[in-house]
Amino acid sequence: MDVISVIRTKRDRGELSPEQIDWVIDAYTRGVVADEQMSALAMAILLNGMNRAEIKRWTAAMIASGERMNFDSLSRPTADKHSTGGVGDKITLPLAPLVAACGAAVPQLSGRGLGHTGGTLDKLESIPGWRALLSNEEMLHVLDTTGAVICAAGDGLAPADKKLYALRDVTGTVEAIPLIASSIMSKKIAEGTGSLVLDVKVGTGAFMKNIEDARELASTMVALGTDSGVKTIALLTDMSTPLGLTAGNALEIRESVEVLAGGGPSDVVDLTLALAREMLDAAGIKDADPAKALADGSAMDVWRRMISAQGGDPDAALPVAREQHVVTAPSSGVLTRLDAYGVGVGAWRLGAGRARKEDPVQAGAGIELHAKPGDTVTAGQPLMTLHTDTPEKFEYALASLEGTYDIAPAGTAFTATPIVLDRIA
């Protein structure tokens, strides 16, 4: 085998053989295949796709690159959730402790920011002392004692994906459906969860811009999970508008705590509850009411224990950016559109995301929204506040926000898009 022939096969729209797939994943993991060579192959996959047999084999090779975990020692059934990424998508943060409060164990392996979308680990690391890196033994201990854990995949779990995930972020190949599906499912299958709910985002702020591509991705992942013995379902959810009122790291932590306290934006609460019900049903827990667990504080109790168990201080002050800039409404009327992608890029340019895999992120950077589509606004009213430690980034971020919102005359009818668009099982 040689990597050039593998690249040429996919470049020329050929089908990679099982032997080629096994070899290139193993060789890349060992460092025999260089980053620039894997970048070329990833771009060829983005442009020319993979069939079901290739995706299944690619996923199996990713799993085989490392170890597999087992949660049979737990007294609770396991249920996990994965989002394909969006703007303001902080759902994992209230969801994991909520489902744990209802009786399931939630082993949530999460990632960092990818392109214009935020990363759960980046958000949680804005909490002083919180640790993303846990050994398998530490992960199991936190899961057993609190009911939920959110952490990075260990080096031994699908190490091929860890390398490729970071590479995709900085080479324009994030959107490749075969690579998204195999990346997500290799970790989830190797993780050993008993059931899995997928939140597949659709819209301008998602990697899947239209519902047909989202259905293809969801169906691919549901099939991969089912074939591996993991009960898997997917919800297609709207990502044309940012979720909630914040996009950033510490900003989203604050909003998540509001949800756990019984408040928070209605779209975040609604999607959190919808996913919680799916996870509990998949885990075989039929009599729990997640809405009650939010209202009575039991989900918040799990959150505090989970954060503390990973070294964080749930009472500590969160970082605040040193500089702010307010964007005001240019006219009065009804806000009818707020483009998720523009807001996501703006937050990324302010320092909430990274341009290279080695880049740090600013904990306090991001965008705070003061109105959502359907709201009535007046000229001069704040629409959003930009946060960053580096004010020279404001101009660059403001450029990405040009044309991202529409204000129609007062009295214009507005119909909101449902948060859940479809369900695939």
Which CATH number among 3.40.1030.10, 2.10.50.10, 1.10.3720.10, 3.40.50.150 corresponds to the domain 80-309? 3.40.1030.10
The parts of the chain modelled with pLDDT lower than 70 are: 357
What residue type is assigned to position 17 of the chain? S
Q: What's the pLDDT tens digit per position in 396-424?
A: 999 999 999 999 999 999 999 999 999 99
Q: Given this model, what pLDDT does residue 272 score?
A: 98
Q: Given this model, what pLDDT does residue 154 score?
A: 79
Contact residues for 310 (Cβ-Cβ < 8 A; gap 6+): 130, 131, 132, 134, 142, 149, 150, 151
Q: Kindly list the distances between the CA atom of residue 317 and the CA atoms of 125, 128, 157, 262, 361, in Å, as whole numbers in the listed order.
A: 13, 8, 33, 20, 18
Q: Given this model, what pLDDT does residue 116 score?
A: 83
Which homologous superfamily does the CATH classification assign to the domain defined by 323-408? Pyrimidine nucleoside phosphorylase-like, C-terminal domain (3.90.1170.30)
Question: What does the DSSP assignment read for 178-226?
Answer: HHHHHHHHHHHHHHT-SEEEEEEEESTTSS--SHHHHHHHHHHHHHHHH
Q: Given this model, what pLDDT does residue 356 score?
A: 72
Catalytic sites, residue numbers: 82, 161, 168, 183, 187
DSSP H helical segments within 310-392, as ranges? Answer: 340-347
Q: Which tokens go with 275?
A: 């996913």
Q: How many C-beta atoms surround the C-beta of residue 425 within 10 A?
A: 13
Contact residues for 330 (Cβ-Cβ < 8 A; gap 6+): 379, 407
pTM of the model: 0.90
CB 386 within 8 Å of CB 367: yes
Q: Given this model, what pLDDT does residue 271 score?
A: 98
Q: What's the pLDDT tens digit per position in 285-342?
A: 999 999 999 999 999 999 999 999 999 999 999 999 999 999 999 999 999 999 999 9
The domain limits of the chain are 3-49, 80-309, 323-408
Q: Given this model, what pLDDT does residue 355 score?
A: 74
Helices (H) and strands (E) in the chain, counts: 16, 13
